[in-house]
Amino acid sequence: MTDSDTADSAPPSGLDAPTLPADRLRDRHEPRPALNREVRYHGMVWDVQRDTFDLGDAGVVQREYLEHPGAVVIAPYRERDGRAQVLMISQYRHPVGTYEWELPAGLLDVAGEDAHAAAARELGEEVDLVAGTWHVLADFYSSPGGMNEALRIYLARDLTPVPAAQRHEREAEELGMPTAWVDLDDAVAAALSGRINNAGAVVGVLALDAARRRDWVTLRDAEAPWPQHPRWMSR
């Protein structure tokens, strides 16, 4: 066999891949058949689960991952003196030993609470604000190879303060959290330069900037379907 014969029989490279039409650029939710599931570790917040599943021609495999309730992220937005701004908080994250600049966020760990209601609750608890206008900015998985955490990022506008007597008493890592309005251009620059690394913040500020530049036409209704999250897949 000659080198030219080998080259002719080789599979096409990435340069030869087809161009995908816009309407086909979407994830395909298609869980593989689970042959067995077992919880290997029960944690304080999430569990480690081991699944045995069938990949068809690729055979039967096992994977372990974190079973996660999911979370919401909120981008509080205002325009002040002609400047687009987003409200951010600084919170200590022990696994990475870092005081991260983040957007307000929280777990979907309240039984029966939908994602929009959770976002409104977290906005009040973390930054003492109520939003008059809500939209969905983006949905994403934080680490789909290792956990099933689904996150939804909301845009919160028309903001007013929570009355002082009704404000949440923060504790643990949330006690005394610094809070600051950041010019959106500065937040985008910080995300792109690597100066902020929190996934929700990076995705959130970039999605917010993109939506604003498109005159908000990309926004979705606050109650938009969320099929990526296990709790809402069947809706």
pLDDT (tens digit per residue) in 107-133: 998 888 999 999 999 999 999 999 999
Task: Look up the pTM and report it.
Answer: 0.86
Given this model, what pLDDT does residue 219 score? 98
Report the percent of the chain where pLDDT is more than 70: 92
Residue 214 confidence (pLDDT) above 90:
yes
The residue whose two tokens read 């086909």 is 24
Give the CA angle between residues 135, 141, 146 to the nearest 5°: 160
- Give dist(CA 62, CA 17) in Å, integer: 30
- Overall average pLDDT of the 199-226 stretch: 97
- Give dist(CA 133, CA 210) in Å, integer: 18
Is residue 101 within 8 A of residue 95, CB to CB? The reply is: no
Given this model, what pLDDT does residue 227 score? 83
Condensed to tens digits (0 to 9), the pLDDT of residues 127-167 reads 999 999 999 999 999 988 888 899 999 999 999 998 877 77
Given this model, what pLDDT does residue 232 score? 64
Residue 56 or 100, more confident: 100
- Overall average pLDDT of the 166-192 stretch: 85
Given this model, what pLDDT does residue 3 score? 54
Residue 61 confidence (pLDDT) above 70:
yes
Given this model, what pLDDT does residue 234 score? 44
- Give dist(CA 149, CA 118) in Å, integer: 15
Residue 1 confidence (pLDDT) above 80:
no
Is residue 181 within 8 A of residue 85, CB to CB? The reply is: yes
Catalytic one of 38, 125, 169, 171? 171
Is residue 220 within 8 A of residue 136, CB to CB? The reply is: yes
Q: Which two three-digit tokens encode residue 81?
A: 């003196």
Is residue 101 within 8 A of residue 86, CB to CB? The reply is: no
- Overall average pLDDT of the 72-93 stretch: 96
Q: What are the DSSP E strand ranges found in 56-115? A: 60-67, 71-80, 83-93, 98-102, 105-107
Residue 104 confidence (pLDDT) above 50:
yes
The size of the chain, in residues, is: 235
149 carries an active-site annotation: no
Give the pLDDT band of residue 208 (cuts 50, 70, 90): very high
- Overall average pLDDT of the 183-206 stretch: 98
Q: How far is CA 83 from CA 33, 43, 77, 203, in A?
A: 51, 44, 11, 20
Given this model, what pLDDT does residue 28 score? 85
Given this model, what pLDDT does residue 165 score? 77
Domains present along the chain, CATH in parentheses: 29-67 (no CATH), 71-232 (3.90.79.10)
Residue 7 confidence (pLDDT) above 70:
no
